[in-house]
Amino acid sequence: MNDATNSLLTEHFSYTPLSLIDDIINSINNLIYQAISSLESGLLSAPPERLGFAHANNGSTIPDTDEDGNVVYPEAKLELENGLHQLETLLEATVDKAFDKFEIYVLRNIFTVPDDLLAWIRLSHHENLSLESSPDAPTPETIQTLRKKLNETKKLNRSLKRESARNDAVISQLRSIVSAAQTHGVAKNANGEDRVEHPLPIDKSLDLSFLTTSPAAQQLRVGVDAGINSKHQPLTTNTTFIISQIPALQAMLKQLRPKLASLPKPAGAAESEAKADERREYIESRIRLHLERTGQLPAGNNGSPIIVGRKIDMTEAQALESITGMLTKDDMKD
């Protein structure tokens, strides 16, 4: 039986021909097992003497008996079990041999369709069935393309959702800062008109504690108690030291630039530097493209990445606004 015939018969019967033959063989095996079980029950219930078992008739041995006084034959049960097992094995081998021939005969002569008739057989559910493909039917290539588009759309959707969440967080922070600034800067007078309040005194409204309590200030040990015998380092100490070092650094740079230009360049250094720069730019562009695709680095309107700075605390923003307001007020007075 070839595959075409097997497929046709399976579609017609709704089961494979081999499954029918296997069911027949299994039914015969079940009948064998039932017969062996019934035979075993009958032989074990029969007296051993009726089955031909007997003890030796000599006066030197006394046969064993059970509680009822019946003679016990221990070898009888073992011999019966061995005999039943051999009978079961013999019947199984006979059934397998006979039904192998039965299977071959059935598959060759009953469950078969001539090859010249396969193309002409039409089943009942094949009527009015059109096998012509529609021109609008999707092809594997179009399905694969649509699947790729769907994956890219899902990826873009996730990226847009993450960017929207970040934008919402930034907008909420800005709104809270603006509302707090408007609350401090604008008040209602007795007539219900808006009036701009004057900045409060520095010791009450201007909170510059971030200059000494921020992580950067702690790294510079500004306002941090360094020990028992040490005092707080004022901010002017670090600022004065940095400003005092700037002229020395500028003079050192002026001295080193001519020496750097006079150094001999090795052969091929310019070409290797150009290749290194080109490779570095390529790697940075690929990394930036990957981060933009995964939504970790959102791109601006002109294609340049948006670098999100550190989060500014509300008190720090209010203090900076107060300082800006005081400076602007002084300029206006001048």
Does some domain include residue 85?
Answer: yes
C-alpha angle with apex 141: 145 to 151, nearest 5 degrees? 20
Does some domain include residue 62?
Answer: yes
Does some domain include residue 306?
Answer: no
Give the contacts of 231 (CB within 8 A, at least 6 positions apart): 225
Beta bridge partners of 186: 196
Give the pTM: 0.36
Q: How many residues does the chain have?
A: 334
The number of domains in the chain is: 1
C-alpha angle with apex 314: 308 to 315, nearest 5 degrees? 130
Does some domain include residue 116?
Answer: yes
Judge residue 185's burial from the number of C-beta atoms within 10 Å of its C-beta, 0-12 exposed, 13-18 middle, 19 or more buried: middle
In eight-state DSSP terms, residue 331 is: H
Does some domain include residue 25?
Answer: yes
CA-CA distance, 144 to 121, in Å (whole number)? Answer: 36
Domain span holding position 80: 3-126
Question: pLDDT tens string for the chain (334 positions)?
Answer: 678 888 888 888 888 888 989 999 999 999 999 999 998 888 878 777 777 766 655 556 666 666 665 666 767 778 888 888 999 999 999 999 999 999 999 988 888 888 888 878 888 877 777 767 777 888 889 899 999 999 999 999 999 999 999 888 888 888 887 777 666 555 444 445 555 444 444 444 555 666 666 666 666 666 555 555 555 556 677 777 778 888 888 888 888 888 877 877 666 666 777 788 888 888 888 888 887 777 666 555 445 555 555 566 677 777 777 777 766 665 555 5
pLDDT of residue 212: 67
Does some domain include residue 61?
Answer: yes
Q: What are the phi and psi torsion angles at 131 (to 5°)?
A: -95, 5
Does some domain include residue 291?
Answer: no
Does some domain include residue 153?
Answer: no
